[in-house]
Amino acid sequence: MGEKSVDQASLKMLNKAAQEGIETAWDRYEKQQPQCGFGLLGICCRNCNMGPCRIDPFGDEPQEGVCGATADTIAARNLLRMIAAGAAAHSDHGRDIVTTLYETAAGETQGYQIKDEGKLRALAAEFGIPEEGRGKEEIARDLAREAMEEFGMVKGKLQFLNRAPEKRRQLWEKVGITPRGVDREIVEVMHRTHIGVDNDYVNLTLHGVRTALSDGWGGSMFATEFSDVLFGTPQPIKGQSNLGVLKEDQVNIVVHGHEPVLSDMIVQAAREDDLLAAAQEKGANGINVCGMCCTGNEILMRHGVPVAGNFLQQELAVVTGVVDAMVVDVQCIMPALTQVARCYHTKVISTSPKARFPGADHVPFSEQTALDTARKIIMMAIDNFSHRKEELIQIPDEEMEYMAGFSVEAIIKALGGSLDPLLDAIKAGQIKGIAAIVGCNNPKISHDYGHLTLTRELIKNDVLVVQTGCAAIACAKAGLLLPEAADEAGPGLGAVCKALGIPPVLHMGSCVDISRILVTAAAIANALGVDMSDLPAAGAAPEWMSEKAVSIGSYVIGSGIFTVLGTVPPVLGAKKFTELLTQGAQDVLGAAFAVETDPMKAAGLILEHIAAKRKGLGLES
């Protein structure tokens, strides 16, 4: 693919940026060429100051670092540290949501409330917390305290693991990778990968999977479930996507990052009469709150708020010249954003003590003053409206409707109250299987091309696709999150979607909401009486780039689901370690990774895998 993106709105803004001398991620990527070959292969080590050490992948003689670490040890340690960082990012998100629930229940926050009492009580029952005769605040405090204990090692095992099929849990116990506590496993990664500790790449890998499982079945699942309690469990909702959602006649506020605790308050405050009046006084016809990345996913699936784009579009939104404030919290925010904003009138407003950006206006955020902080930020955007540079304004026309909000509860509701219709469709061959397409954008791949090409090929072959994160936003912009997209699906899947009035691609939320996909897969496996590794299901990350994606991929294969990566992980310089990830893991976990940069070939691998699993279950092809 010669183009930097397959999204026309992005291409227009890239052309505008080039004309105005604005450097974007694609330009910086080109400047980095050629990238370090040792780093790409994963065989450089900086874990002590005797190095850095690097292994020649083409050497005839076995090579070692100064301490004696081999290529396989070095690559395994490096990957484990990526898993630890990714798991920490997701799990810290989860911790913040748990803390917000606790403080809300204690009456210590501003603007928050328990919106889904039914889910709160269901979770309380799952954790063995008494409900009868107790108010929701009292139950919520106890539930949050129980969750807080699982970040350490007090309880010894994560509660949500009980959602997995018994066969999968027995496998985890046998192999010794049952997560004991979220933080416990992350800290142990850092210890094991210190010089002079764990040198066995197999042993390192097993703990990496254990750490990733503590993310998928722990930190991320807490983030998902407790966000539903606080902000409401998503139900199907329609809205608009792509850069065309920005409005020239309105104050545009783009919320970007991952945690919904602030963005939800901004959506709430932006509807207040006094702020709308303040915007009108400045000559604006309203306040337009839009999302970017996973914060965008969080508010679009609960409020129908427009989503301006995914990861690689964050700079391009600023290039339109109409973003009055880009409000950021944590994760996937490019440091270059403030440099681009400096060329326009846009204010970049950081809010988290964990993430400061030189050149940004910092407005400290706390849950205790959440609504007041949101109002302050909105007023900053309103005041900035009149500072626009008219000659720099250009908004692409591209804008596409989407349908999002397919939580597990929403899917079951759409199926009439149980999974039986879905199971029947799978057994009958109308739906061949299910594929989860998730992950980031990466300038190594033409923007959105991997997501869209893989998705279209799978639905054409009657594979139901579920998505989160930037992949879901890519498909939203392309119209694949609409019921009308059933016309692009195969005859079996298309008929099912038309009968139910749903798209062939289901938006299940933000990156942490891959936990919803785990819960769905576990429920299907339990209904069929099999392990998750027996299901006609697969995962894929066609354009992944972040350490969070490494953790995600590792907990997906650790849960027994074959996963295809579309960008090459830094492991290929370690032959034995690569063979373990792509072949040996199959014998231990019942699933392994495949690496395929061509999304059409990746689709072929997934279809072949689904066909084999159907045969194993005795289902018609």
- Determine if residue 48 is labeled as part of a ligand binding site: yes
Any bridge partners for residue 309, and if so which? 292
- Determine if residue 294 is labeled as part of a ligand binding site: yes
Q: State the pairing for strand pair 563-565/593-595.
A: parallel
Any bridge partners for residue 505, and if so which? 465
3-state class (DSSP) for residue 288: strand
Contact call for residues 55 and 72 (beta carbons, < 8 A): no
- Write b or e for each residue in 35-72: b if 16 or more Cβ atoms lie within 10 A of its Cβ, otherwise e: eeebebbbbbbebeeebebbbebeeeeeeebebebbbb
Distances (CA, A) of 216 to 232, 359, 390, 516, 599: 21, 35, 46, 10, 25
- Determine if residue 67 is labeled as part of a ligand binding site: yes
- Determine if residue 293 is labeled as part of a ligand binding site: no
317, with CB counted inside 10 A (0-12, 13-18, 19+), is buried
- Determine if residue 258 is labeled as part of a ligand binding site: yes
Cα–Cα distance, 621 to 615 (Å, whole number): 7
3-state class (DSSP) for residue 276: helix
Show the CA angle centred on residue 298, arms to residues 369 and 376, nearest 5°. Answer: 30
145, with CB counted inside 10 A (0-12, 13-18, 19+), is middle
- Determine if residue 44 is labeled as part of a ligand binding site: yes
Contact call for residues 512 and 223 (beta carbons, < 8 A): yes
3-state class (DSSP) for residue 400: strand
- Determine if residue 45 is labeled as part of a ligand binding site: yes
What are the structure tokens assigned to 587, written together?
Answer: 């014998």
Q: Which residues are annotated as a binding site?
A: 36, 44-45, 48, 53, 67, 258, 294, 332, 440, 470, 511
Q: Which residues are annotated as a binding site for [4Fe-4S] cluster?
A: 36, 44-45, 48, 53, 67
Q: Which residues are annotated as a binding site for [Ni-4Fe-4S] cluster?
A: 258, 294, 332, 440, 470, 511
